[in-house]
Structure 1
Amino acid sequence: MKTVFLESHNIKNKFSGFGQFNYHLIRGLSQVKPEDLSIVLHAKNTEILKNEFGNTFEYRKYNSLSRHKPFRIKKKYDLWHCMNQNIKIEPFHNIPYLLTVHDIHFITEGSEGLQDKLKAKFREKLKRATAITYISEFAKKDTHANFEVPDIPEFVIHNGNTITDTKVPESYTPPVFPEKPFLYSIGDFSERKNFISLVEMLRLLPDYNLVLSGSNSSTYADSLRKKVAEYNLKERVLLTGKVEDTEKKFYLKHCEAFVFPSLREGFGIPPIEAMRYGKPVFISNNTSLPEIGGEHAFYWDHYDPEYMKEVFLNGMHAFHEKQTFYEQWYVDRAKSFNWVNTARDYLDVYHKILS
């Protein structure tokens, strides 16, 4: 029996994009894994995974020492799946190696010295790879535009939608409750997510509140709070911090629209989650987002507040004119991103490499 090792220790942080990817791919694999393939999960807390998945997988406990060359994992697995481009854990031996690339944001973020260091590490991964999967066509295109990619098999496999059960308990009230119709967005508070542009737009939309979820202890978050205070919007811009699933679902279900002016995405799961609730989505017309949003999302080409407001109001008018059509299209679009299908596609890649 062939054995595939999933370097999945990022599953420990389910609030992060990598944590979500790891968990939902593993969950999808648990539903379609063939009997003739053994899959090993690498995680800090293997007991939690064992309780959920039982004997479907084998388990190896994560040790942070394995990030360092002398202590790398020496077992020669038939295939090593590196589940994102930032992972520091590598196999000791030169064995078949599948690299999944989510994005290459590191080429523009942080100091020049840090960028150079991360670029060098990524080049090492590319040289090691037997095959590469990308989570979007854009991620593939961006990688080829900025790096010399070896002549090896490459595959684009979209992520699935993390929300399949849309129910929210009737009695549930979130800790932060918006009193008037509200717009919603979620993500880390970083320059890349561009949330300040939403605050600028909100000044021109007096009938709406804005709810923003995600880790907000950054320098960018401090800048956003200053803008909110400067514009006297403290009662209308509500920061929830990180949210659990029920809280997130509440905001997605009850928002008037989902707004996502990100400057750079490798994929973009949050707009898909909003579509699952039939909500109009307003997103940036850049990087992977048009690939994800499709023809009936509404797009911002730039971030002038007056322009953003006009796109929003025109989009909401179009949505309400044909609401039944839009709602059904969004739901169908969201359902087309399915983690079980994603898992099947990864299994196909595993088999191609192993054969």
Structure 2
Amino acid sequence: MSLPRIILDCEVLKDRDSGFSHFTVPLAHELIRQNQHYQLYCYVPPTEVGGLGHTGVHYLTQRSFHKYINPPSYGFRLWHATSQLSWYVPTSPFTKVVLTVHDLNFLHQKPDERTYTRQLAMVRRNIKRANYLVTISDFVRQDILRHADLLGYTGRQPLRYVPRGVEALPTLASDHVPAYKPQRPFLFALGTVNPKKNFHVLPPLLQGNDYELIIAGSFTESNYATAIQAAAEQAGVADRVRILIRISEADKAWYISRCLGYLQPSLAEGFGLPVVEAMQLGKPAFLSRLTSLPEVGGSAAYYFDDFSPAHMQQVVAAGLAQHSPARAAAAKAQAGQFSWQQTAADYLAVYKELLGK
């Protein structure tokens, strides 16, 4: 008897630098490694056929018209949609759907009305179609329950939190030099440069010291980058603030490994991947107390209770002074909870629960 066929939506691989890709690629690799009970297919853009290997995996090619005419799914027992905003959810009632929800940030940091309406409609559609909902943080699980009526969640589907894994940062060549090399001790922040990340509150942290601030992101909203620079001008530190776009993985590892501290003052986060990456190296992480960040940083991080310059300066100065080897070890232990091996095992358990095998 042939094994049941299941499919993992990897369409996000069209942009390997995106946050969704940083979730989907390592999950796919670990599912391929652990899977023994299914024929595993990955739904990928044409350029990524074979991109996840050729052993233990098959491919279904994504086509642009699949947004309007759903991809063929009648031969599959289960479809795993890896994002709450996925266009690609099967219409076949015989195909079970697992939906991973990364965040509901549009409810917390409202975008323009058009974007809000579109994202809400997409999330509602995908929740309605799903047979099983999985969130990447317990905060997001609670968020679904808090906004159940708005999202159309009736409670008929199981709702489970599965901690996402985090890969170790790449090992750097001893002679690696980043595209921009700071000339002073520096603080580092990473993420899409948009208002949700709240990066414009960071420049005053350079007052009264000789630090640099490096903000790196895969994408930048130009108006918000201008707002950050304006905040730096107002604080009198514009010459020590750098915004870098689409840095390499090697450069990211260089900045994290050499920074004085990592900063994440976000107003909304579904998880906070760079926080874990910094804590893997024992770095002090300075975070907002909003949405999922306290869950990710735990007691090993340092927190901003508000975003006033004086308070933030005090938190960072005290944290840098207090960050002993014991605190660094606690940060590494916190980061060690987020394992792709466990994440994939948990998803395979979800598949088994839905399919009965």
TM class, shorter-length: over 0.9
Shift of 1:109: 2.8
Shift of 1:304: 0.3
Counterpart for residue 102 of structure 1:
102
What is the SS of the residue equivalent to 2:230?
Answer: helix
Counterpart for residue 326 of structure 1:
327
1:227 to 222, 226, 231: 231
Task: Find the aligned partners of 2:333 and 2:252 in 1 and give their Cα distance.
Answer: 20
The AA in structure 1 aligned to 2:301 is A
For the 8 Å contact 2:169–2:253, the answer to whether it is kept is: no
Alignment of 1:192-231 (within 5 A): 192-202=196-206, 204-214=207-217, 215-231=219-235
Moved more, 80-89 or 223-232: 223-232
**Alignment CA distance shift 1:230-1:236 (3 Å):** same
Shift of 1:141: 0.7
> What is the identity percentage for the equivalent residue pairs of Structure 1 and Structure 2?
28
Counterpart for residue 159 of structure 2:
154
The AA in structure 1 aligned to 2:147 is N
Shift of 1:75: 3.0
Moved more, 76-85 or 107-116: 107-116
Shift of 1:25: 0.7
Task: Find the aligned partners of 2:276 and 2:42 in 1 and give their Cα distance.
Answer: 27
Moved more, 233-242 or 168-177: 233-242
Task: Find the aligned partners of 1:128 and 1:14 in 2 and give their Cα distance.
Answer: 27
Task: Find the aligned partners of 2:261 and 2:235 in 1 and give their Cα distance.
Answer: 22
Shift of 1:231: 4.0
The AA in structure 1 aligned to 2:214 is V
For the 8 Å contact 1:11–1:20, the answer to whether it is kept is: no
Q: Deviations over 1:183-223 (max 9, x none)?
A: 00100111110110011332x24221111111234321122
Moved more, 79-88 or 236-245: 236-245
Task: Find the aligned partners of 1:52 and 1:87 in 2 and give their Cα distance.
Answer: 20
Moved more, 97-106 or 213-222: 213-222
What is the SS of the residue equivalent to 1:41?
Answer: strand
For the 8 Å contact 1:31–1:340, the answer to whether it is kept is: no
Counterpart for residue 86 of structure 2:
87
Moved more, 135-144 or 25-34: 25-34
Counterpart for residue 350 of structure 1:
351
Counterpart for residue 186 of structure 1:
190
Task: Find the aligned partners of 2:208 and 2:159 in 1 and give their Cα distance.
Answer: 45
Shift of 1:103: 0.6
For the 8 Å contact 1:30–1:53, the answer to whether it is kept is: no
Scaled by the length of structure 2, the TM-score of the pair is 0.92
Scaled by the length of structure 1, the TM-score of the pair is 0.93
Moved more, 147-156 or 133-142: 147-156
Counterpart for residue 5 of structure 2:
3
Shift of 1:29: 1.3
For the 8 Å contact 1:76–1:93, the answer to whether it is kept is: no
Shift of 1:243: 1.3
Alignment of 1:209-288 (within 5 A): 209-214=212-217, 215-288=219-292
Moved more, 296-305 or 91-100: 91-100
Shift of 1:72: 4.0
Query: Which consecutive segments of 4 or more residues in structure 1 shift more than 6 A?
Result: none
Task: Find the aligned partners of 2:277 and 2:75 in 1 and give their Cα distance.
Answer: 39
For the 8 Å contact 2:70–2:89, the answer to whether it is kept is: no
For the 8 Å contact 1:184–1:258, the answer to whether it is kept is: yes
Task: Find the aligned partners of 1:205 and 1:241 in 2 and give their Cα distance.
Answer: 27
Task: Find the aligned partners of 2:280 and 2:167 in 1 and give their Cα distance.
Answer: 10
What is the SS of the residue equivalent to 2:164?
Answer: coil
Task: Find the aligned partners of 1:41 and 1:131 in 2 and give their Cα distance.
Answer: 19
For the 8 Å contact 2:10–2:42, the answer to whether it is kept is: yes
The AA in structure 1 aligned to 2:146 is A
**Alignment CA distance shift 1:49-1:71 (3 Å):** closer
1:173 to 172, 177, 188: 177
Q: Deviations over 1:293-342 (max 9, x none)?
A: 011210011100110000111111211xxx21112221222222111111
**Alignment CA distance shift 1:317-1:238 (3 Å):** same
Shift of 1:61: 1.1
Q: How many residues align?
A: 347
The AA in structure 2 aligned to 1:88 is W
Task: Find the aligned partners of 1:123 and 1:270 in 2 and give their Cα distance.
Answer: 29
The AA in structure 2 aligned to 1:22 is T
The AA in structure 1 aligned to 2:339 is N
The AA in structure 2 aligned to 1:152 is Q
Q: Deviations over 1:29-71 (max 9, x none)?
A: 122111x21111111145x452542122110111011011x35
| Structure 2: runs of 5 or more not aligned | none
